[in-house]
Amino acid sequence: MSVDNRSEVRQFLVTRRAKITPDRAGLPAYGGNRRVPGLRREEVALLAGVSVEYYARLERGNLGGVSENVLDALARALQLDDAEREHLFDLARAANSTSGPPRRRRARQVVRPGLRHILDGMTETPAFIRNGRLDILATNRLGHALYRPVFANPVRPANLARFRFLDPAAAEFYPEGDDSANTTVALLRTEAGRDPHNRELTDLVGELCTRSAEFRTLWAAHNVRLHHTGVKRFHHPAVGDLELGFEAMPLPADPGLTMTVYTAEPGSAAQDGLKLLASWAATVDQADQTDQVGGTDQVGGTDQIDQPENRPPHGRGQRA
């Protein structure tokens, strides 16, 4: 159930090599009949300062025992960006791991009460905590309202990748569909390199590859990405278009978890949209509570665990 490290290394190096032309690498484009779209193996070896035989061994997927100096030289030769360089080092660490056989399924990740208090204290901005598999583990009230289409599916934990590729509502929710698809796959690919024995992640990738041709194509590209800050656009079914800045902050005390917070420029249409979203969320919450008292419970118990007012006191019985 783990990622095949040799195959990952081989495909990653081949796809990166194919992106670099001789001209971009500062090499003469001798020979008019090039059989590869990018650099030849011997050209990468020349740029990295290693023998052709040694580079061929690396591209066959064998990073065992490779020094950091060689990895650095390879990253420079292939003009890897920060995310790609980090991914290469992750693959090398996995190749040199002596931790034994793949690990079993892990204990469910739990969001600490202190982190939930931080989320709940953010009343004017959407925020949530996710893991590397893109499961949403906790939200504040406005974050839950923003991602209402994701939580419409009763399967828990709500998963951003499954929503993007398997839920028809994603096409409207993400107006920049190609960008959201590329980012989602790149984040999962990055996590797979960092944690190749994560069985839950492998299962998710297998499901998405089986059920989505779009995901399968993007997964084969072996692209990776760092996703710490930027702008994201949504089309919310209740409040319309939202253009929000985001900060995605890894949580050092909780390895594997990331807190994402959305912001809007003061005085912007997006800020007005967030105010409207907060008003809409309050109306929906009130209606949900009325339905529960009346016995209809239209939202459903699994959805309510993400709402702050439905959490047990002091973190007892929390679900991640």
Residue pLDDT, tens place only, 221-243: 999 999 899 999 999 999 999 99
Tokens of 221: 């590209």
d(CA 172, CA 195): 32
Percent of the chain with pLDDT over 70: 83
**DSSP letter (8 states) at residue 151:** H
Which of residues 298 and 189 earns the better pLDDT score?
Answer: 189
d(CA 60, CA 11): 9
Beta bridge partners of 136: 130
pLDDT at 88: 97
> Phi and psi (nearest 5°) for 79?
55, 50
What are 79-94's pLDDT values in tens digits? 999 999 999 999 999 9
- Whether the link from the prior residue into 157 is cis, omega within 30° of 0, is yes
92: CB partners within 8 A, 6+ apart: 63, 66, 71
pLDDT at 291: 56
pLDDT at 109: 82
Please, what are the domains in the chain? 5-95 (1.10.260.40), 113-315 (3.30.450.180)
3-state secondary structure of 241: strand
Confidence of residue 75 (pLDDT cuts 50, 70, 90): very high
Nearest to 92 by CA among 106, 105, 74: 74
Confidence of residue 304 (pLDDT cuts 50, 70, 90): very low
Confidence of residue 102 (pLDDT cuts 50, 70, 90): low
What are 21-43's pLDDT values in tens digits? 888 988 886 655 677 779 999 99
Least confident of 19-28, 178-187, 311-320: 311-320
Q: What is the average per-residue pLDDT within 205-231? A: 96
Number of residues written out for the chain: 320
d(CA 126, CA 146): 7
Contacts 24+ apart (CB under 8 A), 297-305: 300/154, 302/154, 302/156, 303/151, 303/154, 305/156
The residue type found at 288 is: D
**DSSP letter (8 states) at residue 56:** H
> Rounded to a whole number, what is the largest CA-CA distance in the chain?
78
Average pLDDT, the chain: 86
Does position 259 have pLDDT exceeding 60, yes or no? Answer: yes
263: CB partners within 8 A, 6+ apart: 125, 244, 245, 246, 247
Q: How far is CA 208 from the centre of its chain?
A: 14
